[in-house]
Chain A
Amino acid sequence: MSAAPAPDLHVGRSSQPIHDTWVIAKRGLLHMRRQPEALTDATIQPIMFVLLFAYVFGGAIVIDGGAGDYKEFLMGGIFAQTLTFGVFGAAMALAADRKNGAVDRFRSLPIAKGAVLGGLAVANLIKGLLPIILMSLTGLVVGWRTHSSALEVAGAYGLMILFTFAMIWVGVLLGSKLPSPEAVQGVAFVAIFPLTFIASTFVPTESLPGVLQTFAEWNPVSSLATALRDLFGNSTEASYAGAPWPVTHAIEYTLIWNVLIIGVCAPLAVRIYQRSIAT
């Protein structure tokens, strides 16, 4: 008997990368909706941070030479920190999918190459909008205002979305490399948490001692915070004497970092991911 392949499949033959990516993204969004506790990093935590820093530290930290008060200074920093934490979500989701066999199941299906990582990125990008919106609203409630043109404000939000996208690829890289969500949490806590504090997130870099100041000045988390303050018209930072280029040109510097991270991490992540499942 000749057993030529598959007689009765009414299965589409053409490759449909956008469709496949969206199906996997929808799954990712459903996962987030059904694990509200895993969403706290994108919802409650940023709101809490805005309120805590605005009211607990706000009175103690005085910004020299700044136009606005601490709440205005704070917002750029909180945005930058929270968006950096976006690394966790993508990394944990991918590590979990690799561990529990979901990636294998997807790979045994005739789906477009890249749809699994693409879907993950899309879902996390949508999730990433949540903290941006919630922090903006909380900021407005505690008294944060923008003092720039609508175009500059739009630019600030565009920069945040681009940064979120870049962080997702760092997350994918981690998630492809580390064996479990727990490992992701460990690494991310040790590597990323300090990165967001040795920066101009909550205090001006001029106030930091020697080496830390240099580190903070060149830290892309700082430059994002500064760029956002510039674009929102909340800036106090660019003015100090002897500030290096990343501080005086924070927007350009942040853009370069984003392009670099995406350009390096995305292809590398795809390669490592493919190797991590090819055994």
Chain B
Amino acid sequence: MSAPTTNAIEAHGLVKRFGDKTALHGVDLAVPTGTVTAVLGPNGAGKTTAVRILTTLSAPDAGTATVAGFDVLTQAVEVRRNLGLAAQDATVDALLTGRENLIMIGELHHLGRKDARKRADQLLEEFSLTEAGGRLAGQYSGGMRRRLDLAATLVARPPVLFLDEPTTGLDPRARAELWDVLDGLVDRGTTLLLTTQYLEEAERLANDIVVIDHGRVIANGDSRELKRKVGGDQLRLVVRDEDQLDHAAAILQRGAGAEPQIDRQSRTATVPTSSGVAALAAVSVALADAGIDVDDLGMRQPTLDEVFLTLTGKPATDEPATGPNATPEEITR
């Protein structure tokens, strides 16, 4: 076990029960200081429960955890001084203006009235909310509300940030904007733990990905390791005419060097590939030469459901909000 000071977040054997339902079955986590870890899992996997324990909102039935070196059970106040939490549904105060929200949080961090105001204006600026700062947060769009929520967690410049599904419910543009903001924070050395249902998001933001299912960690590693486990990029082809599917699949097999999975109903063939764009180019030329009508051809990543299928041998128990078969393209649409 490493010294607690090298990991900004550390958890050992966290167990949490609600009645006879066990939400966490002994979860271990280690997030090195200054890095980003994504906890990936479907609804009901235990992500939020883990975050609530690490942020002192809930006490574990067994196990220990430290944040910034402080014990979440015995040193809760020190832990709270060092963390920022953006809960799953943005908990901004709808009846306060954006600016008032931030000032209140600043005052509760004991910044002093003047500094709290200064910090609020600074954050509004940083999150492109200066103009909206005087409007009630209840009138904000989903993306603005998330940005305000995130700004609120940053008021006291916490070294450790917890974001529980920060982009759920956001449109693609708002999501991309939020990702950029998070990049900036990470550049400044903030340690980040975020939960997500999207492999794409975990891969985009995180150094390490922890896959969690039914309250257990079922895989753990950087995205390259994880992708190696689940097969990495795929080429996916949809033909217009089902009669041409077998012919097309054969071309796909030659280009990618592996046997494709065929789904006749959706006229789709999918094959894992390690050579990416080169394989895509070769296949598209070959398809054109063979005169096959193609509806769609592209590279994609495995969905969360496929990750779970590979790791557990069964689909994710609770379907992600966008449905089990949603491709990343569909998710971000």
Check: B212 CB closer than 8 A to any chain A CB: no
Please classify how large the interface on chain B is, using the bins under 10, 10 to 19, 20 to 34, 35 or more: 35 or more
Contact B91 A3 (CB under 8 A): no
How many angstroms between the C-alpha atoms of A120 and B109 in the bound complex?
A: 19
List of A residues within 8 angstroms of B94 by Cβ: 100
Residues of A within 8 A of B96 (CB): 27, 30
Q: Is A52 an interface residue (CB 8 A)?
A: no
Interface size on A, residues (CB 8 A): 39
Q: Which residues of B contact A8 (CB under 8 A)?
A: 157
**A140 CB within 8 Å of chain B:** no
Q: What residues on A are CB-neighbors of B100 within 8 Å?
A: 30
Q: Which of A11, A24, A106 has the most CB of B within 10 A?
A: A11
CB <8 Å contact, B159 and A23: no
Chain A hits for B109, CB < 8 A: 11-12, 109-110
Known: A5-B78, A100-B91. A108 touches B55 (CB 8 A): yes
Question: What residues on A are CB-neighbors of B85 within 8 Å?
Answer: 104-105, 108
Q: Which residues of A contact B191 (CB under 8 A)?
A: 3
Chain A minimum-CB-distance residue to B81: A110
A19 at the interface (CB under 8 A from B): yes
Let me know if B58 and A278 touch, CB within 8 A.
yes
Q: Fill in one digit per residue for B243-278: 1 if any A CB lies within 8 Å of its CB, else 0.
A: 000000000000000000000000000000000000
A107 close to B57 (CB less than 8 A):
yes
Which residues of A sit under 8 angstroms from B93, Cβ to Cβ? 27, 102
Q: Mark A1-27, 1 if CB is under 8 A from B, else 0.
A: 111111111111110100110011011
What's the Cα separation between A11 and B80 when bound, in Å? 12
With a cutoff of 8 Å between Cβ atoms, the chain B residues found around residue A110 in the complex are 77, 80-81, 108-110
Q: Is B95 an interface residue (CB 8 A)?
A: yes
A108 to B72, CA, bound (A): 11
B80 in contact with A104 (CB, 8 Å): no
Which chain B positions have C-beta within 8 A of A19?
107, 110
Could you tell me the distance between the alpha carbons of A14 and B18 in the complex, rounded to whole angstroms? Answer: 35
Docked complex: B1-43 residues within 8 A CB-CB of A = 5-8, 18, 33-34
Q: Could you tell me the distance between the alpha carbons of A101 and B56 in the complex, rounded to whole angstroms? A: 15
Residues of B within 8 A of A31 (CB): 95
Determine the distance from Cα of A110 to Cα of B56 in the docked complex, in whole angstroms. 11
B299 at the interface (CB under 8 A from A): no
Complex CA–CA separation, A19 to B111 (angstroms): 11
Contacts of A9 in B (CB 8 A): 81, 156-157
- Which residue of chain A has the shortest Cβ distance to B115 in the bound complex? A10
In the assembled complex, which residues on chain B have CB atoms less than 8 Å from the CB atom of A107? Answer: 56-57
Complex: how many Å from CA A4 to CA B191? 13
Say which residue of A23, A104, A111 sits within 8 Å of B57 (CB atoms). A104
Q: How far does the Cβ of A249 sit from chain B's closest Cβ, in whole Å?
A: 44
In contact, B95 and A3 (Cβ under 8 angstroms) = no
Q: Which residues of A contact B104 (CB under 8 A)?
A: 23, 26-27
Contact A5 B111 (CB under 8 A): no
- CB distance B83 to A3 under 8 Å? no
Given A11-B156, A110-B77: A277 and B57 interface contact (C-beta under 8 Å): yes
Q: Is B181 an interface residue (CB 8 A)?
A: no
Contact with B along A32-62 (1 / 0, CB 8 A): 0011000000000000000000000000000
Check B59 for interface membership: any CB of A closer than 8 A.
yes
Shortest beta-carbon distance from A12 to chain B in Å: 3
Residues of B within 8 A of A27 (CB): 93, 96, 104
Query: Is there a chain A Cβ closer than 8 Å to B69's Cβ?
Result: yes
Task: Say yes or no: B95 contacts A101, CB within 8 Å.
Answer: no
Contact: A3 with B8, CB < 8 Å? yes
Which of A14, A106, A107, A109 has the most chain B CB atoms closer than 10 A to its own CB?
A109
Check A11/B81 contact, CB under 8 A, given A1-B6, A2-B6, A3-B6.
yes
Docked complex Cα distance between A2 and B58 (Å): 28
Identify the closest chain A residue to B68 (Cβ): A5
* B56 contact set on A, CB distance < 8 A: 107-108
Given contacts A4-B5, A108-B56, 9 further A-B contacts (CB under 8 A): A3-B191, A5-B81, A10-B111, A13-B110, A24-B108, A30-B100, A109-B80, A110-B109, A277-B57
Query: Which residues of B approach A to under 8 Å, CB–CB?
Result: 5-8, 18, 33-34, 55-59, 68-70, 77-78, 80-83, 85, 87, 89, 91, 93-96, 100, 104-105, 107-112, 115, 136, 152, 156-159, 191
The 5 closest A-B pairs by CB, nearest first: A12-B110, A3-B33, A101-B91, A110-B80, A5-B68
Query: 26 A-B pairs, CB-CB below 8 angstroms?
Result: A1-B33, A1-B34, A3-B6, A3-B7, A3-B8, A5-B69, A6-B158, A7-B159, A8-B157, A11-B111, A16-B110, A23-B108, A27-B93, A30-B100, A100-B94, A101-B91, A102-B91, A104-B85, A106-B108, A107-B56, A108-B57, A108-B80, A108-B85, A109-B80, A109-B109, A110-B109
